Amino acid sequence: MQDGTTAEERRGLLKNILYGALALAALPLPWLGWKFLKPQVQRRKLAPLDIGAAADFSAGSYRRISYGDRPVGILRSAAGELRAFDLRCTHANCIVNWNRESEFVCPCHGGRFDAEGRVNLLPPEKPLLRLDIAEREGRVILRDEEYSTAADQI
């Protein structure tokens, strides 16, 4: 070939093209590695749980139950509203206790949450998770649907 390039230049060009193609092919490797190594545990949703007659939950009452592996506090406010909380503290997962003076208190670092699950005292920065709870035909039914009380908190 007489186009002014030497065989060595052509070899260098081919080598650069080959390395470029290999680099492009390697781009998705970190993502594939993450997909492969990342835990694939998916929590199965629990069936709704009948936790008793609505009449057994008087105003101001509190009851602690287990729902799957989750400790749940059921609170009936003075106004009659039922509330269900995941009792794992949003700071480091210790189990909070209802102190019957309208606060959940964490035994680990002293975090406190009000009767709606909002943070009253740090270190937790997020409110307690709430679960869906409702009265149906005179029964109290807990469902595996969670939501945050105050997503905008801190």
Nearer to ligand FES, 57 or 113 (CB): 113
| Rg of the chain, C-alpha, whole Å | 28
Residue 73 in contact with residue 51, Cβ under 8 Å? Answer: no
Among 82, 83, 111, 140, binds ligand FES (CB under 6 A): 111
- What the block records as the tokens of 39 is 């835990």
x/- site string to ligand FES, residues 117 to 146, per CB under 6 A? ------xx----------------------
Output the smallest distance, CB 61 to ligand FES, in A.
24
Query: Which residues make Cβ contacts (< 8 Å) with residue 35, sequence separation at least 6?
Result: none
- 83 is an interface residue for ligand FES by CB under 6 A: no
Given strand 70-76, what is the order of strands in its sheet? Answer: 49-53, 139-148, 129-136, 82-86, 70-76, 62-67
Minimum distance, C-beta of residue 111 to ligand FES, in the bound complex (Å): 3
Q: Is 71 in the site for ligand FES (CB under 6 A)?
A: no
Q: Rounded to whole angstroms, how far apart are CA atoms 152 and 136?
A: 31
Which one of the spans 3-11, 55-63, 103-111, 129-137 is the region binding ligand FES (CB under 6 A)?
A: 103-111
User: In the complex, what is the shortest distance from the CB of residue 67 to ligand FES, in angstroms, rounded to a whole number?
Assistant: 20
Q: Does 92 bind ligand FES (CB under 6 A)?
A: yes
Q: Which segments of the chain are extended strands (E)?
A: 49-53, 62-67, 70-76, 82-86, 97-98, 103-105, 112-114, 119-121, 129-136, 139-148
Instruction: List contacts with ligand FES (CB under 6 A).
Output: 89, 91-92, 94, 106, 108-109, 111, 123-124
